[in-house]
């Protein structure tokens, strides 16, 4: 594999996958793309990427496959049910950037190993605007030689790669835990500002104080303006997907006998938000659930 001219297939071109694929194309890689809905693939086709009609065609002859599918069901359908794994070469490295369950990560690792195909889990931290600048943080786990081989791809889509182990599910555990912490940050700001509103304190004032002092970090600073302004669209990360990730954390906790009581509370709050019609909004719309509970309405 060359450092800047790898033959790469990208599968899954949602809001994150599209910009990641575009960065790989800009980095000079020979890119072929596939997506269930053809429009994003057509966009990249006009920018110089090859556009495969099937996922199996996309992976044929690829040195590396980068996937960013939405959830367990999509990953399972493409790789384990539609036969794409069987169409891959034993010299290919599969880099799965999706946030999936620990159980599926283990199953995929076993399925790849049985076919002699290297599998690397590389979920990412960052929203689409960060991805567009190549500024993602990537959490990688898998065979060290495979990670080294696809490092040029990771460098094209991210600013730093954090290698956490040789078992792919380890990266997914870190990603799920991180998303749980972000959800907790959103919920804590939501509840705090609802309390402040009950006494007439402006949400922006409160959040400016918090993010400028005790919580002067990216997770709080990124979501505080959205909560203060009640600006939840367009969604950088949909609330329904956040609920999916909290459920992944709970499932992993159940499997490992690790109690996650706050995750249960977050699941209930996010489920309430989805039931109220906020599932397609940014997950910072969780703040509206706290406001509704406090009888503060939309306002």
**Catalytic residue chosen out of the listed positions 7, 26, 160, 175:** 175
Specify whether 97 is located in the same domain as 181: no
Specify whether 150 is located in the same domain as 204: no
Specify whether 26 is located in the same domain as 115: yes
Specify whether 162 is located in the same domain as 233: no
The answer to whether 171 and 161 are in contact (CB under 8 A) is no
Residue 46 domain-assigned (yes or no): yes
CATH number, domain of 220, equals: 1.10.1040.10
Residue 213 domain-assigned (yes or no): yes
Residue 76 domain-assigned (yes or no): yes
Specify whether 106 is located in the same domain as 189: no
At 83 the pLDDT is: 87
What's the domain range around 216? Answer: 173-293
Specify whether 162 is located in the same domain as 119: yes
Residue 298 domain-assigned (yes or no): no
160 is an active site residue: no
Q: Give the total number of structural domains in the chain.
A: 2
Residue 1 domain-assigned (yes or no): no
Kindly give the confidence (pLDDT) of every residue in the chain, 299 residues in length, as a single tens digit, with 9 standing for 90 and above. Answer: 445 589 999 999 999 999 999 999 999 999 999 999 999 999 999 999 999 999 999 999 999 999 999 999 999 999 999 989 999 999 999 999 999 999 999 999 999 999 999 999 999 999 999 999 999 999 999 999 999 999 999 999 999 999 999 999 999 999 999 999 999 999 999 999 999 999 999 999 999 999 999 999 999 999 999 999 999 999 999 999 999 999 999 999 999 999 999 999 999 999 999 999 999 999 999 999 999 999 997 64
Residue 232 domain-assigned (yes or no): yes
Residues 95 and 89: their CA atoms lie apart, in Å, by 14
Residue 270, both tokens? 């996010």
Has this prediction a pTM greater than 0.85? yes
Q: Tokens 């790849």 appear where?
A: 112
Cα dihedral across residues 162, 163, 164, 169: positive or negative: positive
Residue 293, both tokens? 């509970």
């Amino acid at each position: 594999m060359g450092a800047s001219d790898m033959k790469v297939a990208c599968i899954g071109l949602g809001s994150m996958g599209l910009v990641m694929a575009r960065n790989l194309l800009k980095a000079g890689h020979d890119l072929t793309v596939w997506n269930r809905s053809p429009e994003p693939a057509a966009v990249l086709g006009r920018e110089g990427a090859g556009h495969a009609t099937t996922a199996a065609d996309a992976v044929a002859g690829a040195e590396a496959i980068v996937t960013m599918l939405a959830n367990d069901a999509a990953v399972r359908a493409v790789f384990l049910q539609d036969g794409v794994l069987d169409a891959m070469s034993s010299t290919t490295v599969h880099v799965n950037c999706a946030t999936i369950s620990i159980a599926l990560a283990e199953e995929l690792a076993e399925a790849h190993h049985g076919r002699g195909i290297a599998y690397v889990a590389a979920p990412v931290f960052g929203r689409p605007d960060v991805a567009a600048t190549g500024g993602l943080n990537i959490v990688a786990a898998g065979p060290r030689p495979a990670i080294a081989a696809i490092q040029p791809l990771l460098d094209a889509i991210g600013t730093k790669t954090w290698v956490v182990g040789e078992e792919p599910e380890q990266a997914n555990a870190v990603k799920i835990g991180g998303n749980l912490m972000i959800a907790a940050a959103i919920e804590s700001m939501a509840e705090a500002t609802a309390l402040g509103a009950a006494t007439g304190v402006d949400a922006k004032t409160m959040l400016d104080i918090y993010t400028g002092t005790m919580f002067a970090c990216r997770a709080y600073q990124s979501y505080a303006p959205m909560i203060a302004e009640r600006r939840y669209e367009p969604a950088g990360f949909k609330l329904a997907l956040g609920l999916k990730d909290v459920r992944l954390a709970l499932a992993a906790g159940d499997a490992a006998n690790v109690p996650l009581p706050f995750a249960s509370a977050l699941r209930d709050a996010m489920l309430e938000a989805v039931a109220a019609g906020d599932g397609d909004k940014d997950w910072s719309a969780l703040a509206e659930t706290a406001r509704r509970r406090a009888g503060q309405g939309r306002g």
